[in-house]
Amino acid sequence: MSDIAALPIGIFDSGVGGLTVLKAVRERLGTESLIYLGDTARLPYGTKSAQTVAAYALEASRRLVSYGIKALLVADNTSSAHALDALRAEFPGLPVIGVVEPGAAAAAAASARGRIVVVATESTVQAGTYPRAILHSRPNAQVTQLPCPLFVSMVEEGLVDGPIAEQIARHYLEPLFSGPEAADCLLLGCTHFPALAPLFRRLLGPDVAVVDSASTTAMVIEDLLALRRLKTPGRGPGAIRYLATDAPERFARVARVFVPWPMEASEIESIDL
Ligand code: DGL
């Protein structure tokens, strides 16, 4: 087993939502150590331009790489949509995995008739990376993208169920999932949206596949580590280190929406990029 296998996996997000990806990785690869960096000082990324998102993603990733990591997981959908090529060019030899390709491939496979709706941030929608990746796997798919900025704030407020969440979800989704042209697959193209998956499943019914990029990305990283013989030699639960560029108290509070384990502000290291 190489020394590299003992290194942690670096996970990067614009803020706290990427903990959905960390949770999915933890569930599949519990013995791996993880370092999570949330760029809370500069979020949201989802309203920013491609250039700004790519510059921020590079800075944050350089920091993670400086700690020594065996793989870089870009949990942030907006950075995955805009910056993956730049990150792969910056760190040749380091496996760099984004959430877009795994999510798109899973949606292409899960959709019965190939009518897929991608919900994401404005900036991810503008990048057009999800439709390109879906069409790569399934060339005759009909892909509709929908920016849903309200879902992000809703989830951070803990509104993942109940009448307000339901009304906003209906507002965005009902027009696309009703009538003869109704879509049959909803792809959750944003870190925060897995928290809303139970609500979406209830509203859309059993004939609509709700696909989340977080869990499919965790499967991809497991396969990749196995293929490169980079799985940790450790046996017990791997350590998790949390870094944030601002507001550790808020990080710890909002984290409760995304992960089931308790988190205190004192566990979050403040860093500057
Ligand atoms: N993490 C972002 C994403 O997955 C959502 C929050 C933000 O806009 O920064 O696209």
- pLDDT tens per residue, range 114-157: 999 999 999 999 999 999 999 999 999 999 999 999 999 999 99
Query: Which residues constitute the domain of residue 135?
Result: 100-213
Q: What is the pLDDT of residue 29?
A: 97
- Is 115 found in the same domain as 174? yes
Strands (E), the chain: 9-13, 34-38, 71-74, 96-98, 115-120, 142-147, 185-189, 209-212, 240-244, 268-270
- Is 246 found in the same domain as 179? no
Does residue 68 fall inside a structural domain?
yes
Pocket of ligand 1 (CB under 6 A): 13-15, 17, 43-46, 76-78, 121, 124, 152, 190-192
- Is 153 found in the same domain as 128? yes
Mutation pick for ligand 1 pocket among 14, 254, 258 (CB with most ligand atoms within 8 Å)? 14
**Residue 177 belongs to domain with CATH number:** 3.40.50.1860
For residues 177 and 180, give the distance between their C-alpha atoms in angstroms, rounded to a whole number.
9
- Is 107 found in the same domain as 93? no
Does residue 221 fall inside a structural domain?
yes
Give me the number of domains the chain comprises.
2
Ligand 1 centroid–CA 180 distance in Å is 32
- pLDDT tens per residue, range 28-67: 999 999 999 999 999 999 999 999 999 999 999 999 999 9
- Is 203 found in the same domain as 134? yes
Does residue 4 fall inside a structural domain?
no
Peptide bond into 44 cis (omega under 30): yes
- Is 139 found in the same domain as 183? yes
Q: Whose CA is nearest to atom 8 of ligand 1?
A: 46
Q: Whose CA is nearest to atom 2 of ligand 1?
A: 76
pLDDT at 2 over 80: no
Q: Which of 181, 213, 245 represents a domain boundary (last residue)?
A: 213
Q: What is the pLDDT of residue 1?
A: 52
- Is 187 found in the same domain as 128? yes
Q: What is the pLDDT of residue 261?
A: 95
Closest ligand 1 atom to Cα of 79: 10
For residues 242 and 226, give the distance between their C-alpha atoms in angstroms, rounded to a whole number.
25
Ligand 1 centroid–CA 47 distance in Å is 9
For residues 250 and 56, give the distance between their C-alpha atoms in angstroms, rounded to a whole number.
21
- Is 105 found in the same domain as 92? no
